[in-house]
Amino acid sequence: MDGHAPEYLVKLRSIPKESFLFGPSPIQSLPRLSKVLSPDGGVKIYAKRDDCNSGLAYGGNKVRKLEYLVADAKKQGCDTLVSVGGVQSNHTRAVTAVATASGMKAVTVQEKWVPIDPPLYDKTGNILLSRLMGGDVRLNQEGFHIGHKEATKEAMDSVKANGGKPYYVPAGASDHELGGLGFTNFVVELAEQEASMNIFFDTLIVCSVTGSSHAGLIVGAVAEGKGRKIIGIDASGKPVETKAQVSRIARNTAALLDPKLEIPDSAIILDERFHEGIYGIPGPSTIAAMKTAAQTDAVITDPVYEGKSMAGMIQLVKEGAIKPGSNVLYVHLGGQPALNAYSSYFE
């Protein structure tokens, strides 16, 4: 487009991607939540609704990332996406959705990553959607460490044995050379929206678990050089590992886009106060935050991811960590289908 576009943008636009999104995901003002958290009107809160980004099985952040991975799978002539996640994984539902909509097959290994078994946990929510789309859902009752590699390898082998050509999508579509691109592109998209809205979001809040949503945002923010701050909220319960993964993905993504693009340590911020000790289980702060968002601006969040990042944003605004005059953007990554499987937490 622009002959003077920076190198990272030229490169980003040259990498093939599928088109799974409606277009730029909407930006919504949250006036009631803003009023509750910042009664003097000093901090204005908005959300970019990546939970409403696509018509493919409710969309969400994984669909944005998978635009790049599916283009790569097609280039390699693959016909089946193979991936792995927990029983109520949004990611495996998204893999099944993009495979289906691309005329490919999906095999998803669903493991016991969360040590709970509430009513209908393996029947409703995300897993129901995958089955409805005709996905080959394989429940693996082995624990995380034992069965993980084995079951996924078996799935890859079974596709090959049936004459198919599998493409492996890592958990969360993160630990992949193209995994960070979707959310680097998110920042480019955001900057265009800001120009037409005449606003600048100085602080972005995002949930972080497998890390590439957070990492992509960091790369986008560092590359554009406007001093935008990205605050990750850990929902993995293993913040040391998560931060290492975010750093690695951010630096690999930056190197892919422009070898001169350096990600300073100071750009990698992960707040560890809101994971409630474990991945996949809401705690009191999670439930309270979900209720606050739902009962102010009718924003629905899930108990695994977005409820935790919502708790983080609420606390950061309340404690004054976000300066008056700020425009804060809550990056809503999706996840609501899992809510059904967690109904017993809301009785």
Ligand X SMILES: *Cc1c(COP(=O)(O)O)cnc(C)c1O
Residues belonging to the active site: 89
Site for ligand X in 87-126 (CB under 6 A): 90-91
Q: Is 334 a binder of ligand X (CB under 6 A)?
A: yes
Q: Identify the helix (H) or strand (E) that includes residue 18.
A: none
Radius of gyration from C-alpha coordinates of the chain: 19
Count CB atoms within 10 A of the CB of residue 299: 21
Which residue in the set 108, 126, 212, 286 belongs to the binding site for ligand X (CB under 6 A)? 212
Q: Is 326 a binder of ligand X (CB under 6 A)?
A: no
Nearest-CB residue to ligand X?
335
Helices marked H in 24-166: 31-37, 61-75, 90-101, 125-132, 144-161
Binding-site size, ligand X (CB under 6 A): 20
Stretch that binds ligand X, among 73-81, 160-168, 211-219, 220-228 (CB under 6 A): 211-219
Amino acid identity, position 140: N
Site for ligand X in 32-61 (CB under 6 A): 60-61
Which residue in the set 166, 312, 335, 337 belongs to the binding site for ligand X (CB under 6 A)? 335
SS3 content of the chain, % helix, strand, coil (to 5): 45, 15, 35
CA dist., res. 271 & res. 260, Å (int): 28
Q: Is 83 a binder of ligand X (CB under 6 A)?
A: no
Tell the smallest beta-carbon distance from residue 2 to ligand X (Å).
Answer: 29
Stretch that binds ligand X, among 126-134, 140-148, 187-195, 202-210 (CB under 6 A): 202-210
Phi/psi at 306 (nearest 5 deg)?
A: -70, -30
Q: Is 330 a binder of ligand X (CB under 6 A)?
A: no
The four Cα atoms 314, 42, 186, 169 give a dihedral, to 10 degrees, of -10
Q: Is 210 a binder of ligand X (CB under 6 A)?
A: yes
Site for ligand X in 135-194 (CB under 6 A): 172, 174
Q: Identify the helix (H) or strand (E) that includes residue 229.
A: strand 229-234
Please give the residue ranges that form the binding site for ligand X (CB under 6 A).
60-61, 90-91, 172, 174, 207-214, 302, 305-306, 333-335
